[in-house]
Amino acid sequence: AQKITQTQPGMFVQEKEAVTLDCTYDTSDPSYGLFWYKQPSSGEMIFLIYQGSYDQQNATEGRYSLNFQKARKSANLVISASQLGDSAMYFCAMREGGGTGNQFYFGTGTSLTVIP
């Protein structure tokens, strides 16, 4: 089974509108972390936001927020007030806790295009 599932290969959003990028995860580990990364066309991977499995509140970082629904194993990224510079690939990732592994699992990504 896939550890991270991103079901939206491509998304379009009008500039200044909000957009939600979906992510579901699969783990039986009670301790885990969820991350979102942005990859613009230049290729670098940029960390956006983190949510810990024990965090009670949804994480927020500026225009980014993570809609964490633990029971549904969902960790959707919400970008408010989209900007042209938000056009990029977005990857959801999970780190499972415990041991020395500290492994990360990535989804296949969602390509976001912001339309002027």
* Residue of 27, 50, 58, 67 that binds another protein (CB under 8 A): 50
Q: Closest distance between another protein and the C-beta of residue 46, in Å?
A: 8
33 phi and psi, to 5 degrees? -130, 145
> Which residue type sits at 49?
I
Answer whether 11's CB lies under 8 Å from 64's CB: no
Q: Closest distance between another protein and the C-beta of residue 22, in Å?
A: 14
Give the residues across from 67 on adjacent strands: 76
Is 57 a residue that touches another protein (CB under 8 A)? no
The span from the CA of 79 to the CA of 97, in Å, is: 27
Which residues in this chain contact another protein in the complex, by CB under 8 A? Answer: 4, 6, 31, 33, 35, 37, 43-45, 47, 50, 52, 91, 93, 95, 97, 100-109
